[in-house]
Structure 1
């Protein structure tokens, strides 16, 4: 496995070119809205909304409160752009299933092209379909089974850094672990030497995106004092890490992993430039580790808050994995409570906490006309916590996912489709959902059998709605042996 640390990259990508790409992609979504048509009620005053956005208060809880006040559709406008938040499960299912062809990824993801370029997460149309088909084999069940031993090996290696009584920021700790996992599994690369650099850069970038998502976000980034002046340097640093990994892989030859598949596609002339290869790798590095890291971070937090649930989890682990045996892929089928704990964590703290789309044609939703160019938002965070669809909605209760036979079943709570969509919806559903659930299950099963991290007393807990749902103040925890 290649160690990616020192060699200089053959190419440093043009951050300004990606910024231009983002601006042009956002501009393409700007369609002049008609005046005088009826619109749903919603928060009043663009100035109020912008102040909330800039202050960071327009995050997950804002959308949860919005769903309680406007149970079907809420609307507000900012600088001539009209946003519609869909807060009803049946309407969410209708929008994403029936109207999928009239929706494209929103300006927020277009702004993300500054980081991701034209990767799978930001692409549309034929390009998106081609790239998805190219990447899909890497996430088939048989491949995930092969990855499982590497996931466990990375976790066991990482556990050696844990010391009883030590305090760690669990968000940073899990991010380092999942970066190692994605490096080993998808790229046959050892990224541990880059974990601190990548983690610091991603912290800056992910926390900046809420401001970049505002109309004129890239102009705001140029204003001194906005905290965004460091973005170009952070982007360049990530580009260098990715390019070193690509260079190393070309020297190694075909290793049978995802990066080899992408390089082969490029060399076969199937339409991938150097920049596109970089974009796909960057997307997979980010999406492949950040979301799972946050799932695990919030899971450790919830288990610290609910010690009885931790004990139930540990009982299962000790029964299925006696004598400290490390878990395997096949063990996961016998760990239903472990899966239920992860699902319940993703219900309360979904890493992908909101979906944004732009309309390309007029839609009718709940009797309201949504003209082309409208921004449609659906929040997993709001729907996963809605008392309309969940009993004891704000309580961490993994048992809700277990059926009468004690097996984990995502349908068991009886929620409608539009109330549960942690990995997105339809043809744009996350391609790596089973990879992520397998990784989270194996990491939790490996570590929770021997450790019970406890939240440092007095730590303020607040979700930051960046690209993912992150703990705003970190997650300081004390490592206690179980």
Structure 2
């Protein structure tokens, strides 16, 4: 349905839900006429047509609830407690999620629900169940022990398709395995421990920051670090740096220096801004389930942003595909040329497939996580260090004693700096780049019981959200000081089971 407004697409998909009860109402009115040999009273006909759709919806919801409760009881399990809603269809929940997304943290309303209802709660929006869990055993079930019982699902695919296409983060089953196997050989230990690219761009960013501070202006660290990660990621993955740092760091909006204060017109920054806006709009959709198309009734906002991104990245991909064809036609190429080409993710991908859409989708998928996870972690780490000078002092002492003040760190140095690892882990506990993730059950699932409570029954085709962010706020796991930034907790023997559990620190 290319080019059709999202709202029309939603209505077309739901049309059968509207036509069916109206058809039954019409059949009932006709039967009345045949049985009683006269038309039904006008008030009765109007009432039947008006209430046929809401009555059908109510009956469908009630039937689903009774069916799920019966199936749960048959398995000696219970349904997840449901958040109480004042307005029909959970409209008050939708407004709460939307308000917190715009003005606060997206996790705030879900944090309140977990405090009130427990670690597993059903956040029902427009009669669609969304089971949220912060329980480590349930997260482990989704990602490991019951992995085959969950998939990303059609709702998530519909929400993020304009952003991620058919990439690894928006695919299931054999397609997911194909994408995973296609890129896995590229991410070897030798490549990810190669620091030359990152050192070059880090020096550029820091030198510009020093120059700006010498001018007497503050530096927007988040903006700077986003440019640094974008330049590093594009050179590492594509073999071509977008050079967003070359536009210069932005001056404060209240600057009166008379110098150029706006570098947003730089092509790389236009790409970065559009890519970020697309991700924000996709996240906003997550709170609406299948109703996101009504919130973007006339225009797909993500698609508009991605058109900017595609215009920027498509020429790079075109050159890579042409180079691959030239190499194939030539038959023999110099070893150093081939090695340089295949030493990038893009070169690796075009050696696996020449489908430009697949290459573009996979490149954008990896570029997104390469940029966002690093930029988010570094931004919040520096923020937390600014708020905790004692941690900064201890971390600086560890870096100087391990690396010194001039030598570049090695992979072994990074592994030996345990307090740095602890500080990063503690930052990720407070500010994970991905606070929520979504899966859909493909069959009936039983989540294990916790602390003697009954197991939780998850019906088929039910959206489940798991949150490592909210799990880390639970005082029953972390103690009464759960909201205190304290890297030492990761060096404490009593919490070793948390740091050794791969399902706890998913952002890493």
TM-score band by shorter chain is 0.7 to 0.9
| TM superposition score normalised by structure 2 | 0.70
Q: Does 1:141 align with 2:189?
A: yes
- Counterpart of 1:80 in structure 2 is 127
Q: Does 1:65 align with 2:153?
A: no
Question: Structure 2 unaligned runs (5+)?
Answer: 18-59, 70-78, 245-266, 325-337, 450-454
Deviations 1:8-46 (A, max 9, x none): xxxxxx9859989x98xx99xx9x872324333232221
Q: Contact conserved, 1:344 with 1:397, CA < 8 A, in 2?
A: yes
- The separation in 2 between residues aligned to 1:252 and 1:317, in whole angstroms, is 43
- The separation in 2 between residues aligned to 1:188 and 1:418, in whole angstroms, is 32
1:110-259 aligned at under 5 Å gives the runs 110-146=158-194, 148-163=195-210, 164=213, 166-193=217-244, 194-213=267-286, 214=288, 215-222=290-297, 230-250=301-321, 254=338, 255-256=341-342, 257-259=344-346
Q: Contact conserved, 1:90 with 1:418, CA < 8 A, in 2?
A: no
Residue of 461, 470, 474 corresponding to 1:386: 474
Deviates more, 1:203-212 or 1:151-160: 203-212
State the secondary structure of the residue aligned to 1:54. Answer: helix
Residue of 335, 340, 357 corresponding to 2:422: 340
| TM superposition score normalised by structure 1 | 0.74
- The separation in 2 between residues aligned to 1:60 and 1:91, in whole angstroms, is 19
Q: Which structure is larger by alpha-carbon Rg, 1 or 2?
A: 2
- The separation in 2 between residues aligned to 1:346 and 1:212, in whole angstroms, is 24
Deviations 1:164-202 (A, max 9, x none): 353233322221111111112121111124431122112
Residue 68 to residue 190, structure 1, CA distance change in 2 (3 Å):
same
- Counterpart of 1:103 in structure 2 is 150
Residue 177 to residue 150, structure 1, CA distance change in 2 (3 Å):
same
Residue of 353, 365, 371 corresponding to 2:459: 371
Q: Greater share of strand residues, 1 or 2?
A: 1
- Counterpart of 1:447 in structure 2 is none
- Counterpart of 2:258 in structure 1 is none
- Counterpart of 2:253 in structure 1 is none
Residue 364 to residue 144, structure 1, CA distance change in 2 (3 Å):
same
- Counterpart of 2:97 in structure 1 is 53
Deviations 1:265-304 (A, max 9, x none): 114xxxxx22111110111111111121111111111111
Residue 412 to residue 317, structure 1, CA distance change in 2 (3 Å):
same
Q: Does 1:313 align with 2:395?
A: yes
- Counterpart of 1:401 in structure 2 is 490
- The separation in 2 between residues aligned to 1:35 and 1:67, in whole angstroms, is 22
- Counterpart of 2:140 in structure 1 is 93
Deviations 1:226-258 (A, max 9, x none): xx7654432111011221221233455541221
- Between the two structures, name the one with larger relative contact order (CA 8 Å, sep ≥ 6): 1
- Counterpart of 1:286 in structure 2 is 368
RMSD of aligned residue pairs (Cα, Å) = 3.1
State the secondary structure of the residue aligned to 2:131. Answer: strand
State the secondary structure of the residue aligned to 1:393. Answer: coil
Deviations 1:33-88 (A, max 9, x none): 72324333232221111111222357212222322222242113222211111232
State the secondary structure of the residue aligned to 1:84. Answer: strand
Residue 220 to residue 16, structure 1, CA distance change in 2 (3 Å):
same
Q: Contact conserved, 1:346 with 1:422, CA < 8 A, in 2?
A: no
Question: Structure 1 unaligned runs (5+)?
Answer: 1-13, 268-272, 405-409, 424-432, 434-482
- The separation in 2 between residues aligned to 1:298 and 1:325, in whole angstroms, is 25
- The separation in 2 between residues aligned to 1:127 and 1:150, in whole angstroms, is 32
Deviations 1:344-392 (A, max 9, x none): 1111111111111111101123433321111111111101221111142
- The separation in 1 between residues aligned to 2:5 and 2:497, in whole angstroms, is 43
State the secondary structure of the residue aligned to 1:421. Answer: coil
- The separation in 2 between residues aligned to 1:242 and 1:218, in whole angstroms, is 27
Residue 154 to residue 375, structure 1, CA distance change in 2 (3 Å):
same
Residue 287 to residue 195, structure 1, CA distance change in 2 (3 Å):
same
State the secondary structure of the residue aligned to 1:222. Answer: coil
